[in-house]
Amino acid sequence: MDFTPLFHPKTIAVLGVSLTNDRHPANVIYNKIHLRYPVKVYPVNPRGGQFQRDRVYADIADIPATIDLAVVAARAEFVPDILERCIKSGVGGAVIISGGFAESGRADLQERLVALARTADFPFIGPNCLGIYAPTRFDTFFLPGERLVRPDPGPVAIVSQSGGVLVDQMVKFADQGVGLSLAVSIGNKALIRELDMLDYLSEDPATSVIAFYVEGFDKNEGRRFVQVAASVPKPIIVLKSGKSTEGRRAASSHTASLAGDHKVFSSVLAQHGIVEADNEFEMVSFCESLSCYRQKVLGRVGIITVSGGHGVLVTDICAARGLAVPQLSKDTRQKIQANLSASVQGIASLENPIDLTGSAREDDFVAAANGLSRAPEVDCVILLLLPYSPGISSDLGARLSHVFRREDKPLVAYVPHQEKYRMLIEGFELNNVPVSSSINGAVLMVEALRRCRTC
Amino acid sequence: MLNQDMRDIIRRAKKYGWVLEPDAKRLLSLAGIPVPDFRWVATLPEALAAAEDIGYPVVAKIVSAAIVHKSEVNGVAVGLEDADALTDVFKGFSRLEGFAGVLLEPLVSGIELIIGAKIDYQFGPIILLGIGGTGVEIYQDTALRMAPLSDSDVSSMVESLMGAKLLKGYRGAEPIDMPALIGLVHHFSLLVMDLADCIDTIDLNPVKCTGTTCVVVDARIMLADAAIPIELM
């Protein structure tokens, strides 16, 4: 099956555009593609007529162009016929937004779609989904553009069974500066499922990190998924819901009782080098970190802070996750000490965490980051920046990013407020150093590198 | 691959839904997994002769298709020192429901582990390794992996147990025979792959490990429910 027309369409037909209800999902989709994306789009409604000065085509076959992608937002009972006409007219693929299939007792309708598509080798996403969001290229979400928080283009692809979770995750990605290559809501996943998306994304040159929100796999489908995932040369992150449901026949067997469904899921994912996120915040931190770095770390963390309290907090979080905060060698401490400014030399603590104190200036941060980046006893560095400290300017992010580029040891930064310190944060993020708005998130970024099989 | 003897054992067990312990041990033994030198006897004279042969003290266990949980009906007697003790136990067992003989074997000591398998809906055959004994479900010190296991899977399972230190010679104790354990888990994983279509769960609990051996002391193989087509399980 060729997915190119689905994810790289040049022409789109929106089927089900209403001539009377401008809030119809098909109208929202038509409008946003028509007005905002570099794609030619055609409205289709069996009644024909005019929509906003454009011709409405009564049949997809009437459109005087080859259609790559059909977006179907008509009532469920009409969808099999629509799909058949799409196939006959040589359309490349479809996104079926409409609900009213297996999720509401009409598995028969859904099976007809699958049978038609398989016979014709015709790819479709859905039904009962939001479909595709390809930043700056096109999207099929029936959510008005002004209501969406839109992440920038970037290397992370995310595939979700739930459209709601997907949009929410996109909000968090945008907030934390995680760039998207593609977001796909697969809904009832009647034809195109996680495994198909994994195959496609493993070959997609725009994607270097692949994230999934999974509610559950079919019989033995999880087995095939992890077997394929183990050979994909890109990091894969999975957020699984439904952790509280446990195995059924626990009584007759200790093994059944000890190997609950979620324990099995987590163990098998880890066995195959897939990074499991426990919640949506971990998902964001893992995606951000793995979209910046591919260095394998064992988890020996060097820490730089200007507040003793922060140093203790981050050390506790590292310890709880089994990450080490090793003692620094005398050599490392001497080299850092020699490069500190005179006013800080006498008061800074050069144990790990390094506490530069509130008197620290930018040069002191650079000296400490240089020292830790060259210290063999640590394999990654967490910077806790508190920009209320007057010695810190907005340039510090970019300056510290250069330390990473020179030394090649992963740095992650914690900066407490996204909006107020935007320029400082962009100094890191535009230079490919990840920034978290929580201390825990910064530790998670290190954790992602430790768990990643392809790092 | 399952040989004819192994397939026969499964076929005979289908009507009960699980494999009787002596058959389960024979199946394991055919798959290269160490079990004690056990005898399955039907009469008291056979039992006395077998016990002489094994050497006292012996362990006696009820064999009955109606009794899955032997200890709940006092169907296990450990450390029988002589013929008198065995005679008493045999007579008691023979009155239990579905009596189909007695399993006799030597007393085995060692650190107790649990090794298990289940057929997971999403991932198929799964292997469990954990610290065994009666507290197994309280401590839940277990590791799970999808079968078939690689050698590095087996070692990482051992390493991930909180009780890994107990196995490596905690406080001067003798470390267990790690190659024997790894070999046992490895053979078990291959057997489970072969049995994937016909089993539901397997508990080898306990498996007893010493400095020189790892032996499966009890084995419970629950078959896939014949009333439910395999594809729906």
Measure the CA angle with vertex A287, ends A284 and A288; round to 5°. 85
Q: Is the bond leading into A127 cis (omega within 30 degrees of zero)?
A: yes
Tell me the percentage of chain B whose pLDDT exceeds 90.
86
| B19: its two tokens | 């494999």
Q: Average pLDDT for residues B210-231, to the nearest whole number?
A: 80
Q: Is the distance from CB of A262 to CB of A271 less than 8 angstroms?
A: no
* DSSP code per residue over B169-227: TGGGPPPP-HHHHHHHHHHHHHHHHHHTTTEEEEEEEEEEE-SS-EEE--EEEEEPPTT
In the predicted structure, residue A123 carries a pLDDT above the cut 90:
yes
In the predicted structure, residue A246 carries a pLDDT above the cut 80:
no
In the predicted structure, residue A17 carries a pLDDT above the cut 70:
yes
In the predicted structure, residue A249 carries a pLDDT above the cut 50:
no
The rounded distance, in Å, linking the Cα atoms of B35 and B108 is 10
The rounded distance, in Å, linking the Cα atoms of B139 and A85 is 60
In the predicted structure, residue A244 carries a pLDDT above the cut 70:
no
- Residue in chain B lying closest to A270 (CA): B145
Question: Shortest CA distance to A9 belongs to which of A89, A70, A81?
Answer: A70
In the predicted structure, residue A254 carries a pLDDT above the cut 90:
no
Q: Collect contacts of A63-66 with beta carbons under 8 A, ≥24 apart.
A: A63/A13, A63/A89, A65/A11, A65/A40, A66/A11, A66/A90, A66/A92
| Chain B interface, best mutation among A258, A265, A451, by max B CB count within 10 A | A258
Edge-first strand order for the sheet with A93-96 is A40-44, A11-15, A69-72, A93-96, A124-125
Residue A217 DSSP code: -
* CB within 8 Å: B126 and A264: yes
CB atoms near residue A248 (< 10 Å): 9
- Residue in chain A lying closest to B160 (CA): A267
Q: A109: buried, middle or exposed (CB in 10 Å: 19+, 13-18, 0-12)?
A: buried
Each residue's pLDDT tens digit, A149-182: 999 999 999 999 999 999 999 999 999 999 999 9
- Residue in chain B lying closest to A247 (CA): B120
* CB within 8 Å: A259 and B122: no
* CB within 8 Å: A258 and B128: yes
Q: Average pLDDT for residues A368-377, to the nearest whole number?
A: 97
Structure confidence at residue A418 (pLDDT)? 79
Structure confidence at residue B233 (pLDDT)? 31
Each residue's pLDDT tens digit, A31-83: 999 999 999 999 999 999 999 889 999 999 999 999 999 999 999 999 999 99
Nearest CB among A221, A254, A255 relative to B122 is that of: A221
Of the pLDDT bands very low, low, confident and very high (cuts 50, 70, 90), residue B181 is very high
3-class DSSP state of A80 = helix
Structure confidence at residue A255 (pLDDT)? 86
In the predicted structure, residue A247 carries a pLDDT above the cut 90:
no
Structure confidence at residue B156 (pLDDT)? 95
* CB within 8 Å: A255 and B153: no
Structure confidence at residue A455 (pLDDT)? 84
| Cα–Cα separations (whole angstroms), residue A94 to A44, A140, A182, A249, A282 | 14, 11, 16, 41, 32
Q: What is the pTM of this model?
A: 0.93
Question: Shortest CA distance to B34 belongs to which of B220, B208, B222?
Answer: B208
Residues 6+ apart with CB under 8 A from B50: B39, B41, B104
Q: Collect contacts of A419-423 with beta carbons under 8 A, ≥24 apart.
A: A420/A387, A421/A387, A421/A394, A423/A394, A423/A397
| Chain B positions in Cβ-Cβ contact with residue A222 (cut-off 8 Å) | 120, 122-123
| Chain A positions in Cβ-Cβ contact with residue B189 (cut-off 8 Å) | none
Residue A224 identity: R
* CB within 8 Å: A256 and B220: no
Total beta-carbon pairs less than 8 A apart between chain A and chain B: 93
* CB within 8 Å: A254 and B205: yes
In the predicted structure, residue A293 carries a pLDDT above the cut 70:
yes
| Chain B positions in Cβ-Cβ contact with residue A272 (cut-off 8 Å) | 146
Nearest CB among A223, A247, A271 relative to B124 is that of: A223
Half-sphere exposure of A417 (CA within 13 A, CB side): 6
The rounded distance, in Å, linking the Cα atoms of A280 and A288 is 12
Residues 6+ apart with CB under 8 A from A296: A449, A450, A452, A455
Structure confidence at residue B6 (pLDDT)? 94
Each residue's pLDDT tens digit, B27-79: 999 999 999 999 999 999 999 999 999 999 999 999 999 999 898 899 999 99
3-class DSSP state of A305 = strand
Q: A38: buried, middle or exposed (CB in 10 Å: 19+, 13-18, 0-12)?
A: exposed
Report the complex ipTM: 0.91
* CB within 8 Å: A253 and B203: yes
Q: Average pLDDT for residues A408-437, to the nearest whole number?
A: 93
How does B65-99 read in b/e, with b if 16+ C-beta sit within 10 Å? Answer: bebbebeeeebbbeebeeeebbeebbeebeebeeb
The rounded distance, in Å, linking the Cα atoms of A37 and A136 is 7
Nearest CB among B114, B120, B231 relative to A254 is that of: B114
The rounded distance, in Å, linking the Cα atoms of B62 and B58 is 13
| Cα–Cα separations (whole angstroms), residue A322 to A298, A399, B131 | 10, 30, 22
Structure confidence at residue A251 (pLDDT)? 54
Residues of B with CB under 8 A from a CB of A: 68, 114, 116-118, 120-124, 126, 128, 130, 136-137, 140, 142-146, 153, 200-203, 205, 220, 222, 231
The β-bridge partners of A182 are: A157
Structure confidence at residue A276 (pLDDT)? 97
The rounded distance, in Å, linking the Cα atoms of B55 and B58 is 7
C-alpha distance from B42 to closest chain A C-alpha (Å): 27
Q: Average pLDDT for residues B103-118, to the nearest whole number?
A: 96
| A161: its two tokens | 């069974």
Nearest CB among A222, A226, A259 relative to B128 is that of: A259
* DSSP code per residue over A123-135: -EE-SSS-EEEET
Structure confidence at residue B229 (pLDDT)? 37
In the predicted structure, residue B231 carries a pLDDT above the cut 60:
no
The β-bridge partners of A95 are: A71, A125
Q: Is the distance from CB of A403 to CB of A373 less than 8 angstroms?
A: yes
Q: Average pLDDT for residues A250-256, to the nearest whole number?
A: 73
Structure confidence at residue A245 (pLDDT)? 58
Residue A251 identity: A
Give the start-end residues of each E strand in A264-308.
275-277, 301-305
C-alpha distance from B170 to closest chain A C-alpha (Å): 22
C-alpha distance from B84 to closest chain A C-alpha (Å): 34
| Chain B interface, best mutation among A223, A238, A253, by max B CB count within 10 A | A253
* CB within 8 Å: B144 and A268: yes
Each residue's pLDDT tens digit, A299-335: 999 999 999 999 999 999 999 999 999 999 999 999 9
The rounded distance, in Å, linking the Cα atoms of B173 and A8 is 65
In the predicted structure, residue B117 carries a pLDDT above the cut 70:
yes
The rounded distance, in Å, linking the Cα atoms of B117 and B127 is 5
Residues of A with CB under 8 A from a CB of B: 216-223, 226, 247, 249, 252-259, 261, 263-265, 267-268, 271-272
* CB within 8 Å: B118 and A261: no
Characterise A408 by phi-psi region: left (phi > 0), alpha (psi -120 to 50), beta (else). left
Tell me the percentage of chain A whose pLDDT exceeds 90.
89
Better pLDDT: A423 or B135: A423
* CB within 8 Å: B122 and A257: no
Q: A12: buried, middle or exposed (CB in 10 Å: 19+, 13-18, 0-12)?
A: buried
In the predicted structure, residue A405 carries a pLDDT above the cut 70:
yes
C-alpha distance from B220 to closest chain A C-alpha (Å): 8
* CB within 8 Å: A264 and B140: no
In the predicted structure, residue A454 carries a pLDDT above the cut 60:
yes
Nearest CB among A222, A247, A257 relative to B137 is that of: A257
